Amino acid sequence: MEPADSGRTKRKPSPVLVAVTALLLVGYFSLIGWAWTGTATDPQHGMADGFLMMVTVFFLGLAGALWYGASRQRAGCVWTVFAVCALPSLSLVGRAIYLLVRWLKHAS
């Protein structure tokens, strides 16, 4: 008995997309590593470490999902990880455009 085919062909994730997403993750991991190496005498340092641990586990999960999507040829998984990684940079660009337009309105 042959497996049922849904009629959709499997799309392979683009190697460029995988590389860009991996570079974004490397950037995030470098920031996380920098945050872990920071020394502080703040009384709330324990809470900051707990939050940092949660962020680290989240990004390790994203890295695992990227590896899974790239190795198993799952384009949807790779696109999802890319969207989560690219969202902060895109929202910063949107905010910069908004602030620039607002500044230009008040300058004239």
pLDDT class of 66 with cuts at 50, 70, 90: very high
pLDDT class of 1 with cuts at 50, 70, 90: low
Is there a contact between 62 and 85 (Cβ–Cβ < 8 Å)?
A: yes
pLDDT at 9 over 70: no
More confident residue, 22 or 87: 22
Length of the chain: 108
CA distance 76 to 69: 8
pLDDT at 11 over 60: yes
Per-residue confidence (pLDDT) for residue 6, from 0 to 100: 56
pLDDT digits (tens, 9 = 90+) for 31-58: 999 999 988 778 888 888 899 999 999 9
CA 103 to chain centre: 30
Sole residue written with tokens 């949107």: 94
pLDDT at 101 over 70: yes
Sole residue written with tokens 């890319």: 82
Sole residue written with tokens 């969207």: 83
